[in-house]
């Protein structure tokens, strides 16, 4: 039998990385939830959470405990297997993309040479969770939410992939580390501004955030696909959503904003993570501001915008990139 | 065997188990949604086998295309036109064409077995060939260009067919087209 001391070090390293990433996912959700409520408050000229801790900073911790302690209600007419499966399905695949994201030059769990493809394929499973949850709830609001989620994600997955393709054409690699390495001198946001704009818009739509939050539009669909969920089931959806936002922002940072590059710091190969996180949270702050300052689009506007504007523009962008790269 | 080989062997059997369980759910489930989920599980298992065989690219493509796209489109279709559970039950209980089905399955099985036995299996090379994305892309666009383009024509025909079917449905109801 193998003992801990004879276990291969790579395996131990991966286990530690997964543990750190899972704890970070919870921390990120708490921070994002707090930020979101605080920013929403100030946008609407009120204070947001103020009671628990200094300026309500512990509010989300308390909320988390409440959600975990609550009973998970399972309505009678739901499909029990699907109802239980959906939150797990929404939470599990979101852990995996964080394994290949290079937080700094040396802080990366695994440098896959197909890293970008890995992230894209893992995030595509998320729609499955929404569908399973929406259908399994046996509730027409959930069902409508799920159906909207599919139409939306099919529409916006194409421009998001096409805008990534422009970067891949320039760097000739799918490894996230090499893509960041190629931005030593100039960030790709300056060379590919159109791709960046398309990526951010589609990223907001992919994570089902306002102004594209049709799958969970509360004024029309109660809460969309997670209407029937309570307690831990709801928390897993919540965690999945915020982690997806983080992934989208990190990929944007890696592809367009130069990843860990910034003014040099001591121990730069590790402390590059400071710059990385600053950029990621700037993007997340931007996404939250958009959510609370723009009205929701109508569903036909949403689909028309994707198919009639984003897809053609990203195709033109790829054409121009290919010609310029070839010259 | 080293510890890693134990893990790899364990994973292989886990993936095979996934494929078998998924396929079994696919053919035995009473509810269409469960059928598609079973299919998704089986396809995930296939992706796992690609992973075991060392082709990360095929693994990711399998997940992206089959689990992430094909299954979702299937589910979408089922949600739009849901089959009542009673009809699904009836379809499973009535065994009208059981002889035809069994003979068709057996024929396919024996054809596969024959081709399996006839193939000269070469043992895996210690040094694997070039499976990089560049190499794959060159193969697709130079050596297998015709097959690659033909597949895209099939997809194009499928899209056009879907649009034609959808348009007819719309006109019959007499709804305004815009």
What is the separation of C-alpha A169 from the centre of its chain, rounded to a whole number of angstroms? Answer: 24
Query: Tell me: the pLDDT tens digits for A34-75?
Result: 888 888 888 888 887 878 778 878 888 888 888 888 877 777
- The ipTM of this complex is 0.76
Q: Which tokens in the block code for residue A89?
A: 């399905």
Of A117, A125, A153, the CB nearest to B67: A125
Residue in the block written with tokens 């984003």: A310
Which chain B residue lies closest to A147 (C-alpha atoms)? B76
Residue A307: pLDDT band by 50, 70, 90 thresholds? confident
Domain ranges of chain A: 75-326
Taking an 8 Å cut-off on Cβ atoms, the answer to whether B3 and A82 are in contact is no
Q: Residue B82 contacts by C-beta under 8 Å, 6 or more apart in sequence?
A: B32
Q: Is B74 on the interface with A (CB under 8 A)?
A: no
Q: Is A122 on the interface with B (CB under 8 A)?
A: yes
Judge whether A176 and A254 are in contact, CB under 8 Å: yes
Kindly give the residue spans of alpha helices, DSSP state H, lying in chain A.
9-43, 59-69, 80-95, 97-100, 115-136, 140-171, 176-181, 188-191, 193-206, 218-221, 231-255, 268-293, 299-304, 311-326
Backbone conformation region of residue A258, classed left if phi is above 0, alpha if psi is from -120 to 50, else beta: left
Q: Which residues of chain A neighbour B75 with C-beta distances below 8 Å?
A: 128, 131, 135, 150
pLDDT of residue A156: 86
- The CA-to-CA distance between both ends of chain A, in Å, stands at 60
CA distance A276 to A309: 31
Q: Which tokens in the block code for residue A263?
A: 């003014």
Residue B178: pLDDT band by 50, 70, 90 thresholds? very low
- The b/e string for A9-47 (b: 16+ C-beta within 10 A; e otherwise) is eeeeeeeebeeebeeebeebbbbbbbbbbbbebeeeeee
Q: How many Å lie between the alpha carbon of A27 and the closest alpha carbon of chain B?
A: 28
pTM (global) more than 0.80? yes
Long-range Cβ contacts of A260-265 (<8 Å, 24+ apart): A260/A102, A260/A103, A260/A104, A260/A105, A260/A180, A261/A180, A261/A183, A261/A184, A261/A187
- pLDDT at residue A326 tops 50: yes
Q: Which tokens in the block code for residue B21?
A: 């369980």
CB pairs under 8 A between A and B: 70
């Amino acid at each position: 039998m193998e003992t801990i001391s004879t276990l291969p070090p790579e395996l131990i390293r991966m286990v530690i990385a997964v543990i750190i990433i899972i704890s970070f996912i919870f921390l990120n959700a708490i921070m994002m939830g707090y930020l979101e409520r605080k920013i929403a408050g100030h946008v609407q000229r009120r204070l947001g959470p103020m009671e628990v801790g200094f300026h309500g900073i512990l509010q989300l911790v308390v909320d988390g405990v409440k959600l975990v302690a609550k009973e998970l209600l399972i309505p009678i007419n739901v499909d029990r297997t699907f109802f239980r499966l959906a939150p797990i399905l929404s939470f599990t695949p979101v852990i995996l993309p964080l394994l290949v994201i290079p937080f700094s030059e040396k802080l990366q769990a695994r440098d896959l040479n197909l890293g970008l493809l890995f992230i894209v394929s893992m995030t595509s499973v998320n729609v499955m969770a929404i569908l399973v949850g929406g259908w399994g709830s046996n509730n027409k609001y959930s069902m409508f939410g799920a159906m909207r989620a599919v139409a939306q994600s099919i529409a916006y997955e194409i421009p998001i992939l096409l805008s990534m393709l422009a970067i891949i054409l320039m760097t000739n690699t799918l490894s996230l580390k090499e893509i960041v390495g190629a931005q030593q001198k100039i960030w790709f946001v300056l060379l590919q501004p159109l791709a960046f704009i398309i990526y951010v818009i589609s990223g907001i739509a992919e994570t089902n955030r306002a102004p594209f939050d049709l799958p969970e539009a509360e004024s029309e669909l109660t809460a969309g696909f997670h209407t029937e969920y309570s307690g831990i089931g709801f928390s897993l959806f919540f965690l999945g959503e915020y982690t997806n936002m983080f992934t989208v922002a990190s990929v944007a940072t890696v592809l367009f904003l130069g990843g860990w590059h910034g003014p040099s710091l001591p121990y730069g190969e590790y402390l590059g993570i400071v710059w990385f996180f600053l950029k990621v949270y700037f993007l997340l702050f931007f996404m939250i501001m958009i959510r609370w300052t723009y009205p929701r689009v109508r569903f036909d506007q949403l689909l028309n915008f994707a198919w009639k504007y984003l897809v053609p523009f990203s195709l033109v962008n790829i054409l121009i990139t290919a010609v310029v790269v070839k010259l | 065997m080293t510890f890693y080989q134990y893990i790899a062997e364990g994973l292989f059997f886990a993936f095979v188990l996934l494929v078998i369980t998924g396929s079994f759910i696919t053919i035995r489930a009473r509810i269409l949604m469960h059928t598609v989920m079973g299919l998704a599980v089986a396809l995930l298992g296939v992706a796992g086998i690609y992973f075991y065989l060392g082709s990360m690219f095929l693994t990711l493509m399998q997940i992206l295309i089959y689990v992430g796209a094909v299954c979702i489109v299937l589910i979408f279709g089922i949600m739009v036109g849901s089959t009542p559970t009673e009809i699904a039950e009836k379809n499973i209980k009535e065994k009208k064409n059981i002889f035809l089905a069994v003979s068709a399955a057996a024929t396919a099985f024996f054809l596969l077995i024959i081709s399996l036995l006839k193939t000269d299996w070469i043992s895996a090379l210690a040094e694997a060939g070039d499976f990089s994305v560049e190499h794959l892309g060159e193969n697709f666009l130079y050596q297998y260009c015709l097959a690659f383009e033909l597949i895209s024509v099939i997809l194009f025909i499928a899209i056009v067919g879907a649009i034609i079917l959808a348009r007819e449905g719309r006109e019959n109801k007499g709804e305004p087209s815009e």
